[in-house]
Amino acid sequence: RDWAFRLPALFVFLVGALYTYRLGALLFTQTVARLAVLMLLFSQHAVLSTADVRMEPFLTGFLTASVFHLLRGRDSWRDFIIGCAFLGAAVMTKGPFVVLPIIGALFAWEWRRLPPLRLVLAPVLTVLFTTPELWCLWRQFGATGLRMFFWDNQFGRFADLNGGAIPHGGYDFFFHTVLWAFAPWGFWLYAAVFAHFRERGPVRHLLGAIVPTFLMFAVSRHQLPH
């Protein structure tokens, strides 16, 4: 039924809202956390992608939860493992490119603060938690399925190696796309980024996750208006 099809996306999106609050309270204050949840729940594309059951609600839930637990994973093995599990779930939704926000945030957060053993185990555990999809792709499609997951669906689309019909909108394409996708908060988002770009601490961590990902999509040869 229609509601059963949409329910998982709504549930994971609400998980993302919960972790948005927890992350905001962890890095800033409860007031900031509440405002962040309000902006997420009522942004145009969040509502649209959840209703249409796209990948974005799943990515929002899994990546936000992963960032929260990996931040706390410096001092807690439990949080570290949970964070890797959520990251593995995010990779299963859209492929290996989704680790870029985590890597960007990690280096902006001064990766030397993480214990070396955790730096080594993080990719190992992430791959381990991704193995259910890899196994299914291998059983269904063999090596072709794995190639699609690791290359064709990501690198191939970004470099347009597959001859896609979607044109490149230009390097400024997503700058104006954000204005409607994040409406009615788009202008506030840009104002906040420019106002706090040089700050250190939690803001630097978040910008480390956002800016490299945004630039990656800006240079992509395969661009969609959301």
Q: For 191, left (φ over 0), alpha (ψ -120 to 50), or beta?
A: alpha
Residue 165 in this model has a pLDDT that exceeds 60: no
Residue 162 in this model has a pLDDT that exceeds 70: no
Residue 164 in this model has a pLDDT that exceeds 60: no
pTM to 2 decimals? 0.87
Residue 33 in this model has a pLDDT that exceeds 90: yes
pLDDT tens readout for residues 84-134: 999 999 999 888 888 888 888 777 766 666 778 888 899 999 999 999 999
Residue 163 in this model has a pLDDT that exceeds 90: no
More confident residue, 223 or 26: 26
The CA distance from 226 to 224, in Å, is 6
